Structure 1
Amino acid sequence: MNLTEELLAAKLVAIVRGITREQAKTAGAGLVAGGIRFMEVTMNTDKALDIIGDWRSRYQGKAYVGAGTVLNVDMAREAVDAGAQFLISPNVDTAVISFAIERGIDIWPGAMTPTEIVTAYTAGAEIIKLFPMASLGLGYLREIRAPLNHIPIMATGGVTLENMSDYFAAGASAVGLGSALMPKGALISGDVEAIQRQVSKFVRGAVTTEVTP
């Protein structure tokens, strides 16, 4: 099973943005303990490369660590050199896609329009991140999936415990989650168990939810 296939089975990517390297220890421990298999550190987070390296050494064999907000080939190269196992971006850059494929790294670029989605998929990306989902809404996802049901979509933005099943019912193959996984104050207080409990709820929900073909 390759990384993309594992994501389609796990259905969840945890997105971490704007935290400190110390807070990343709490976040990583809680995410992994709760059952998350894919953890993304956005490249506009201070010390992002250090966090990626920390997580790779600490959670090898337990979770996959990737870089998000990868905007160009230079950022992609830095992330991969730091240990990123997958790359995620908010946009379609075919040069970044080509770089990732050449390095044997899975890349899941962000797209909004049908043209962007098909362009990214044709360039070699196996999953396309539909972004920004919080603004586009579930109706847009359903409409996109009608003609493009052969392209796996990871919906990112606006996912909660209450509506996650709606995302899958609308056609998402996976979802990206950020602040919803982190109970308020847990990072500041170092409460790993609070994060673990919250994450476990999402993981259980994803496992028991059917994905609409």
Structure 2
Amino acid sequence: MGQMLELLLQHKIVAILRGIEDRHADAAGQALIDGGIHMMEITMNTEGAAVMIDRWRAKFGTKAAIGAGTVTDVALAEQAVAAGAQFLISPNLDEEVIAYGIERGISVWPGVMTPTEIVKAWKAGAEAVKIFPMGTLGISYLQEIRGPLNTIPMMATGGVDLHNIADYFKAGANAVGMGGKLVNLEWIREGKFEQVTERARQFVEAVREL
């Protein structure tokens, strides 16, 4: 088992930062770490993502694993890895990206929806998959596919909130990816970093209680 997968299964939450402005990124990252978050991804469709990933590796490297999200093809994978991303997450299944990660010892967790895609990703060498979009698919969908596909680590992304996070894990999620419900960009832009930390702490606590 790779180090990043171990961290994923241990800490169970990946914070997703999409559309964050560079000037707020460091304070936001620190606020999440202060709240107990150990894994953070900056999506590659965020302006200046590679620059921020590079800086976060230097700044937060001993406190959190830093990855890249929305890695939809090999070109973006190359940019992310050059910036120091320790794991790559995508909304789609691109077997070339998985192969690229395997060659370099970088964890790739592709986005999948159907049982066919899940098994395809697993056979291509993905050590975990991201079930997406969970907000639309719903928890019962996860429960149904979990029965026959019980050996593949699954990160559920979409629709997770404080009131339902326990249900995601009961349905079979090994981890969750969380964007706006965890990382409130309005708070960040208004400098309310204590609220960001407190929200992170609430989610970390909810997972710990499981």
TM class by smaller structure? over 0.9
Q: What does residue 5 of structure 2 align with?
A: 4
Inter-partner Cα distance in structure 1 for 2:75 and 2:85: 14
- May I ask how many residue pairs the two structures share in their alignment? 209
Could you tell me how far 1:184 is from its partner in structure 2? Answer: 6.4
Could you tell me how far 1:185 is from its partner in structure 2? Answer: 3.0
Inter-partner Cα distance in structure 1 for 2:81 and 2:74: 10
SS of 2:181's equivalent in the other structure is: helix
Deviations 1:130-174 (A, max 9, x none): 000000001110111010011111000000011000000000000
Superposition pairs of residues 89-108 of structure 1, within 5 angstroms = 89-108=90-109
Q: What does residue 41 of structure 1 align with?
A: 42
Q: 1:65 to 1:147 in 2, by over 3 A?
A: same
Q: What does residue 196 of structure 1 align with?
A: 197
Q: Does 1:119 align with 2:120?
A: yes
Superposition pairs of residues 53-202 of structure 1, within 5 angstroms = 53-183=54-184, 185-202=186-203
TM-score (norm 1): 0.95
Segments ≥4 residues shifted beyond 2 Å: 182-185
Inter-partner Cα distance in structure 2 for 1:116 and 1:148: 12
Q: Gaps (5+ residues) in structure 1?
A: none
Inter-partner Cα distance in structure 2 for 1:196 and 1:78: 29
TM-score (norm 2): 0.97
Q: Residue 26 of structure 1 contacts residue 191 of structure 1 at CA under 8 Å; is this kept in 2?
A: no
Q: Residue 183 of structure 1 contacts residue 198 of structure 1 at CA under 8 Å; is this kept in 2?
A: no
Give 2:28's aligned amino acid.
Answer: A
Q: Gaps (5+ residues) in structure 2?
A: none
Q: Residue 12 of structure 1 contacts residue 174 of structure 1 at CA under 8 Å; is this kept in 2?
A: yes
Inter-partner Cα distance in structure 2 for 1:81 and 1:183: 28
SS of 1:179's equivalent in the other structure is: coil
SS of 1:46's equivalent in the other structure is: coil
Inter-partner Cα distance in structure 1 for 2:47 and 2:7: 29
TM-align CA RMSD = 1.1
Inter-partner Cα distance in structure 1 for 2:185 and 2:64: 24
87-96 or 19-28, which deviates more: 19-28
